[in-house]
Structure formats: C-alpha cells, structure tokens
Structure 1
Amino acid sequence: MGRLHATARLARTALASRLLTHGFYAGQDQIMLALDRDDGQTPGQLASRIGVRPPTITKTINRLQGQGFLEKRASANDGRQANIYLTEVGRQAIRDIEKSLRKTEKLAFKGLDKKEQKTLAKLLSRIEANLSATPLPPLEEDELLEEER
C-alpha cells in the first residue's frame, strides 16, 4: 500500500506542476472536467462526483470563478440553489487540462508496453473495487460467539 500511495502522490504532483503552468491549482482540474462532462451541476453534486466535502468545493469554485473559468447561475427550479457552468474561457482551458493529463500519463507509462498498461489498469480497478466495497456491519455479540464455535 505504501508504494501505491507514494506513486499516486507523485502522479498528482507531476500533474499539479503541469497544471500550474496553465493557471490551475491541484484539484481544480477535477471540477473543470466534471463540468465539461456535465455542465450546470450544483456544488453538492460536484462535491459528490469528485469525492470532496462541500466546503472544499465551495472554496475551489469561488477561486475558479475569480479566475474567470466558471460562473454561478441561480437555479431555475430553486432560487436558493446555484448551478455552476464553465465560461467560454473555461471551455478553452479544458484543452490545456487534457493536454496536461496526457503528458503526465505518457511520463508515468514510459517503459511500459500496451499489455503492461492494460494489466496495470485491471489491477488498479480491482484494488479500487476492493477498497470501495461497502463494509459489512459489525457482528453482534451472539454472532461472535457463534463464529467462535
């Protein structure tokens, strides 16, 4: 697990370095790409989709809005709710994000042939599925005693 964690951290650092040259901070790319796939999400939907807490997403949305990449619009259905949209500048920036992702991926996979890359993807998918599985509820005391027999 230590090697997996270290590799993930190095990959994120390499990507963050590339993204910074385009004016993005770590994590902002995930919001931008999520909106590119499905524009007009609420902050709560975005937080859920990328796996962060709502206060974190709010700060990042505000920063991206300040940079001119995003805009908030009041929901047509619920005036208390805002939806987040890419601006034209944001749409143009998606290409830079995707280019940074491709270059980082190319660096990470350097020296691995297609078969090795496919095997790695399968193994990582299996690990992800294992770790994201719903944990079983704790056993009751009488069930523990039954297991011991």
Structure 2
Amino acid sequence: MIEDEIREILDKVHAQMRRNFAIALRSLNLHVGQEHLLCRLWSGDGVTQQQLCEHLKCEASTVTNMLKTLEKNKLVYRIRDDNDGRISRVFLTEKGREIKEPIEKMWRAQQDKLLNGIVTEERLLLRRILKQMEKNLLP
C-alpha cells in the first residue's frame, strides 16, 4: 500500500538525517538531542530541569544524563534555586554560547542537503503536508 511506503520513506529519511547529524555533532563532542537542549537555553537560560523535560518531551533521567555530559564538557552549569533548594536552574557557559553558531551551520547544511532539488513551491507544499501529518498524530 502507498501508505506503508510513505511511512517507510519517512522512517528512512529520519534515520539517515539522524545518522548524518550524529556524525556532524561528533566534531563538537555532542550527541544527537543535546543540541536541542542547548537551543532551548540559547533562547533564555536559567530554566529548571523540569522545564527542559517539558520542552524536549523526554524523561527527567534523560535530561539529567544530558546535563551531566554537557557540564563535563563545560557547556552548561547548574545552580540550586534561591527559593527552592530542590530545583536546579541550568545556565550556559561562555563555551555553551559560542557553540551556537557552529550548530546552526550544521542545521542549515543538513536542511540544504535534505531539500536539494526541491523548488520553493514543492517545499511549501511539503511543509504543509508534514504539519498536517504532525497534527494528525497529536492525541
């Protein structure tokens, strides 16, 4: 069925993009997913780990492990909240701020590669279809 083929193609595209991006991120000593956490902090750091979980739509243990690695690599640091010692707030280091531009270049390069040979009108239609597919999958 055509629907099965579309699902399989989407799976293959996603898997290959993830592999390509994983290779690119290695040059910055990062793993796939960590750049999304950094991206959230670039739009405003000092957020709680819970806010990062909600933004990334992942488990607290996943965020904790990401943060441990990012702290080890001196990209972020955590500080206990002044009003509630149970809460940690996450901040970027200078190194964490400086890595923004190289990651954004990687994102653009991956997107350019993905969309190579697809004209603007087709890109707009593709975007509309993908947004509808995303909406269809929401609970």
CA distance in 2, matches of 1:118, 1:27: 26
Q: Which amino acid aligns with 1:105?
A: Q
| Residue 31 of structure 1: how far off its partner (Å) | 0.4
Aligned residue number for residue 58 of structure 2? 52
Kindly report structure 1 stretches of 4+ aligned residues shifted beyond 3 Å. Answer: none
Q: Does the alignment pair 1:94 with 2:100?
A: yes
Q: Which amino acid aligns with 2:62?
A: T
Q: Which amino acid aligns with 1:22?
A: L
Aligned residue number for residue 17 of structure 2? 11
Matches within 5 A, 1:1-149: 1-132=7-138, 134=139
CA distance in 1, matches of 2:11, 2:56: 18
Q: Which runs of 5+ in 1 are unaligned?
A: 135-149
Aligned residue number for residue 144 of structure 1? none
Q: Which runs of 5+ in 2 are unaligned?
A: 1-6
CA distance in 1, matches of 2:120, 2:23: 26
Q: Larger radius of gyration, structure 1 or 2?
A: 1
SS at match of 1:73: strand
Q: Which amino acid aligns with 1:20?
A: R
Of the structure 1 ranges 54-63 and 15-24, higher mean CA displacement relative to structure 2 is found in 15-24
CA distance in 1, matches of 2:75, 2:102: 12
- The TM-score, its normalising length taken from structure 1, stands at 0.85
CA distance in 2, matches of 1:96, 1:77: 36
CA distance in 1, matches of 2:119, 2:26: 29
Root-mean-square deviation (Å) = 1.0
Across the two proteins, how many residue pairs are aligned to each other?
133
